[in-house]
A and B are shown apart, each in its own frame.
Chain A
Amino acid sequence: MTTSPVTSARPAAPSRFTTRARPPAPARSTPPTRPVMLTAEQLAAFGAELDAIRQRIIDDLGEKDAAYIRRVVRAQRAFEAAGRALFYLPPAWPLAVASLSVSKILDNMEIGHNVLHGQYDWMGDPDLNSRGYEWDTVCPSGQWKYSHNYIHHTYTNIVGRDRDLGYGLLRMGEEQRWEPRCLGNPLYAFLLMLLFEWGVLLHDLEVDRIVTGERTWADTRPLHRGMLRKVRNQTLKDYVLFPLLTGPRLLPTLAGDALANLVRNVWAFTIIFCGHFPTGVATFCEEETRDESRAHWYYRQLLGSANITGGRLFHVMTGNLSHQIEHHLFPDVPARRYPEIAAEVREICRRYGLPYNTGRLSRQFFSVEKKIFRFALPPAEKTTGPTRTAAAHRMADRVRGIRRQREKFVGTATVSRRVV
């Protein structure tokens, strides 16, 4: 594995994107609504370059990748066993919690998320196959695969299609209409962070659409059985059996298991929110993505994702979702390959004058938090009073206007990038 080539660079910063002669570089110092322009030929060439990277990696998969994921699995199981065992040793309680937290994070992120993407299906190992893998979290993997692999990865950042845009709970962009309940944005986000695994579990119920009447409770019935079974298995293990097994240490073990789950929740929320919601990440409307070519899809994935810089261990602990851009470009390529791909992707972006959103965890997270707070409030022009709804409508009209303008560019595959 190569070391991470990424350094902190803001897409909005003008001097970082020095462009070579070939594609006409858009002026970088202009207002943030300035569209990133690629001609159809440039777009096709851009797509072909990414296709070539993918093919090269796919052709090269083998023993090393298999050995890597098995090593991670071995480490995860060892952390898990150590965590469970250390609860018998009272002074080692913090160590037990840390060990179990690491186990759950590895299981969910570098193993579970990536295996469920089919990244290791080529190995033919039923234990590392997207069809059969089950992870150490309350959401049944089969249900998650639908909302994540299919909906989120196909319709990434398309307003109204990608349910990961705010998870039907948060207002994360001006395209979403403001309502008074949006004032709770920071509170909802905070609760989602603490209860992330439960949020992921309930995601597929699409409760927000049940509230609005687009979906009925009966529609969710096929999901209930699987959800209940998985919840029963997870709670039985973490909150009943393992605590009971430690006898008089029942309560500390119970608390330790809960804390390990909490640590995993906070970590997963942090990494995932930093992948799609930092400033500079673009959203799209359905019209501009209709009849999208593969190259255009790449283009949307690039503009709709953001990376986090860090060391090798950090990348492993994020399941390599710190390379969210590479993950969205190549969701079924083993994640251990993302760091080596990242250098090339970044270089390609530089040549085509495309933004490559990356930054330190603190910077990306701060940027996400700012967004959560900002969109809790109504749009700037008109904020309170009885005309609020009208103002929201005007805002929506304005957005539609921008989209109509954008549509003109769709033929030459252009997407405007609004920085909020």
Chain B
Amino acid sequence: MTLVQALLRSPVVAALTSPHGVDRYLELVNPMWAVNEIRARVVRVEPETHAGAPVATLTLQPTGSWPGHLAGQYVQLGVEIDGVRHIRCFSVSSPASGRGGRITITVRANPDGVVSSYLVGRARPGLVVHLSRAAGAFTVPEPPPRQLLFISGGSGITPVMSMVRTLLRRGYGGTITFLHYSRSPAHQIFAGELAALPPNVHVHLVHPRQGGRRLTPAELSRLMPGYRDVDTWACGPAGLIERIQDAYAGSDRLRVEYFRPPAVRGPAGGEVIFTRAGATVATVPNSGATLLEQAEAAGLAPTFGCRMGICLSCTSHKTEGVVRNVRTGEESRQPDEDIRICVSAPVGTCAVEIPVPSR
């Protein structure tokens, strides 16, 4: 099989299948045959919770081209719904995988989310989805520290669960403190597994809406004295992450993962000019929001994917002006450059050529 793989990857096969590439032919024979691209077949869909928006875990069997992932990393998953491919990022919830290894993602069906609703409610075994390589630096270093603190909120539990599962699978002997916030016990994902964790994992499930204590520096100190010197991983909604960041201000032990970039805005002021094929299609006062949001507010429909600066679907050409990356705060003032409009907010007047899909 590896010989076949090596052959299919050879420059001769690439030349023979030019300009389309070998995967364009293999996929027609079997969608699970791929050399360069990664796809996966859904093999199981298991409901996790039913309270509020339902949650399900999907088990995916990737193609042999899947290089594996580290615990805590995410993938971009593409799924076709009514002929349109939608791409979203999901943290892998299963432990670290190797080449071609099975993985799971755990998805909460956001009522407004086309993709999450589809995956939870309509995906059936046999469905083939598109995957990116796993990415993200939200991982535990080698060798893992003896003391670990995980803090998660809602479905932010998924990458943390991948880390805990991976550590336990390889017989981690240190201490893990696992602090998780959710609405109610009925909303709790992985409740059974969390209850059965070994004694070196101290689990604290907190439900602030039902009287549980909110996250504060004092509360953190109570659960984990000297927490600012403990290696900590946090994943959850932006509000929770912001409180954790405040609690760790000045400490370099905190690593965070967002579902969405925080709502950092550029300064308002000036104008944003959107063009297509060189012709102005809209001119709006700069509100300070990202260019993607401003374009959408102006009634345009630019192409987008992850909306968090990862997938490059929204890449557009800035012809003039300064933009600020809302994730890093970095400003870019080159006159002609390609930018990701989902994470770029204009600083003052800015002109952008946007690829508008025909729908």
The complex places the Cα of A234 from the Cα of B28 at a distance, in Å, of 22
Q: Does A344 contact B (CB under 8 A)?
A: no
The complex places the Cα of A173 from the Cα of B303 at a distance, in Å, of 41
Q: Is the CB of B18 within 8 A of A58?
A: no
Report if A58-B359 is in contact (Cβ < 8 Å); known contacts: A77-B25, A124-B84, A241-B12. yes
Q: How many chain A residues have a CB neighbour from B under 8 Å?
A: 37
Q: Is the CB of A61 within 8 A of B359?
A: yes
Report if A332-B83 is in contact (Cβ < 8 Å); known contacts: A74-B28, A234-B18, A237-B16. no
Indicate the member of B12, B20, B303 with the most A CB atoms within 10 Å.
B20
- 0/1 string, B298-328, CB within 8 A of A gives 1: 0000010100000001000000000000000
Q: Does A67 contact B (CB under 8 A)?
A: yes
Q: Which residues of B contact A61 (CB under 8 A)?
A: 83, 358-359
Q: Is the CB of A237 within 8 A of B15?
A: yes
Q: Does A188 contact B (CB under 8 A)?
A: no
Q: Is the CB of A127 within 8 A of B24?
A: yes
Q: Which residues of A contact B18 (CB under 8 A)?
A: 233-234, 236-237
The complex places the Cα of A254 from the Cα of B355 at a distance, in Å, of 41
Q: Is the CB of A134 within 8 A of B20?
A: yes
Q: Which residues of A contact B86 (CB under 8 A)?
A: 124
Residue of B nearest to A122 (CB): B359
Q: Which residues of A contact B355 (CB under 8 A)?
A: 121, 131
Q: Is the CB of B83 within 8 A of A63?
A: yes
Q: Does B357 contact A (CB under 8 A)?
A: yes
Residue of B nearest to A63 (CB): B83
State the Cβ distance, A108 to closest chain B Cβ, in Å: 11
Q: Which residues of A contact B277 (CB under 8 A)?
A: 150, 154
Q: Which residues of A contact B25 (CB under 8 A)?
A: 77, 81
Q: Does B19 contact A (CB under 8 A)?
A: yes
Within A13-67, which residues are at the interface with B (CB < 8 Å)?
A: 58-59, 61-67
Residue of B nearest to A124 (CB): B85
Q: Which residues of A contact B20 (CB under 8 A)?
A: 77, 134, 136
Q: Which residues of B contact A59 (CB under 8 A)?
A: 359
Q: Does B193 contact A (CB under 8 A)?
A: no
Q: Does A185 contact B (CB under 8 A)?
A: no
Q: Is the CB of A58 within 8 A of B83?
A: no
State the Cβ distance, B183 to closest chain A Cβ, in Å: 33
Q: How many chain B residues have a CB neighbour from A under 8 Å?
A: 25
Q: Which residues of A contact B87 (CB under 8 A)?
A: 124
Report if A122-B84 is in contact (Cβ < 8 Å); known contacts: A58-B358, A81-B25, A150-B277. yes
Q: Which of B305, B313, B358 contacts A332 (CB 8 A)?
A: B358
The complex places the Cα of A410 from the Cα of B312 at a distance, in Å, of 44
Q: Which residues of A contact B246 (CB under 8 A)?
A: none
Q: Which residues of A contact B242 (CB under 8 A)?
A: none
Q: Is the CB of B358 within 8 A of A121?
A: yes
The complex places the Cα of A48 from the Cα of B357 at a distance, in Å, of 21
Q: Does A333 contact B (CB under 8 A)?
A: yes
Q: Which of B12, B19, B303 contacts A136 (CB 8 A)?
A: B19
Q: Which of A64, A77, A122 contacts B28 (CB 8 A)?
A: A77
Within A192-248, which residues are at the interface with B (CB < 8 Å)?
A: 230, 233-234, 236-237, 241-242, 245
State the Cβ distance, B306 to closest chain A Cβ, in Å: 12
Q: Does A123 contact B (CB under 8 A)?
A: yes
State the Cβ distance, B39 to closest chain A Cβ, in Å: 12
Q: Is the CB of B16 within 8 A of A242?
A: yes
Residue of B nearest to A118 (CB): B358
The complex places the Cα of A410 from the Cα of B176 at a distance, in Å, of 79
State the Cβ distance, B269 to closest chain A Cβ, in Å: 32
Q: Which residues of A contact B305 (CB under 8 A)?
A: 124
Q: Which residues of B contact A373 (CB under 8 A)?
A: none
Q: Is the CB of B24 within 8 A of A122?
A: no
Q: Is the CB of B82 within 8 A of A62?
A: yes
Q: Is the CB of B19 within 8 A of A135?
A: yes
Q: Does A119 contact B (CB under 8 A)?
A: yes
Q: Is the CB of A66 within 8 A of B16?
A: no
Q: Is the CB of B83 within 8 A of A123?
A: yes
Q: Which residues of A contact B28 (CB under 8 A)?
A: 74, 77-78
Q: Does A125 contact B (CB under 8 A)?
A: yes
Q: Is the CB of A241 within 8 A of B80?
A: no
Q: Which residues of B contact A136 (CB under 8 A)?
A: 19-20
The complex places the Cα of A67 from the Cα of B83 at a distance, in Å, of 7
Q: Which residues of B contact A236 (CB under 8 A)?
A: 15, 18
Q: Is the CB of B16 within 8 A of A241?
A: yes
The complex places the Cα of A122 from the Cα of B277 at a distance, in Å, of 18
- 0/1 string, A316-328, CB within 8 A of B gives 1: 0000000000000
Within B312-359, which residues are at the interface with A (CB < 8 Å)?
A: 313, 355, 357-359
State the Cβ distance, B143 to closest chain A Cβ, in Å: 39
Q: Which residues of B contact A77 (CB under 8 A)?
A: 20, 24-25, 28
- 0/1 string, B3-36, CB within 8 A of A gives 1: 0000000001001101110001100100000000
Q: Which residues of A contact B313 (CB under 8 A)?
A: 124
Q: Which residues of A contact B16 (CB under 8 A)?
A: 237, 241-242, 245
The complex places the Cα of A150 from the Cα of B277 at a distance, in Å, of 8
Q: Which residues of B contact A131 (CB under 8 A)?
A: 355
Q: Is the CB of A134 within 8 A of B84?
A: no
Q: Which of B24, B80, B83, B85 contacts A65 (CB 8 A)?
A: B83
State the Cβ distance, A127 to closest chain B Cβ, in Å: 7
Q: Which residues of B contact A245 (CB under 8 A)?
A: 16
Q: Is the CB of A123 within 8 A of B358?
A: no
Q: Which residues of B contact A121 (CB under 8 A)?
A: 303, 355, 357-358
The complex places the Cα of A262 from the Cα of B127 at a distance, in Å, of 42
Q: Is the CB of B358 within 8 A of A64?
A: no
The complex places the Cα of A123 from the Cα of B358 at a distance, in Å, of 10
State the Cβ distance, A130 to closest chain B Cβ, in Å: 9
7 of the cross-chain contacts (CB-CB < 8 Å) are: A62-B82, A62-B83, A63-B82, A125-B80, A233-B15, A241-B15, A245-B16
Known: A61-B358, A122-B357; 20 extra A-B contacts, CB below 8 A, are: A61-B83, A62-B83, A63-B82, A66-B80, A66-B84, A74-B28, A77-B25, A121-B303, A121-B355, A122-B84, A123-B83, A123-B84, A123-B85, A124-B313, A125-B85, A127-B24, A230-B19, A234-B19, A237-B16, A332-B358
Chain B interface (Cβ within 8 Å of chain A)?
A: 12, 15-16, 18-20, 24-25, 28, 78, 80, 82-87, 277, 303, 305, 313, 355, 357-359
Listed from nearest, the 7 A-B pairs whose CB atoms lie closest are A66-B83, A124-B85, A134-B19, A122-B359, A63-B83, A233-B18, A62-B82
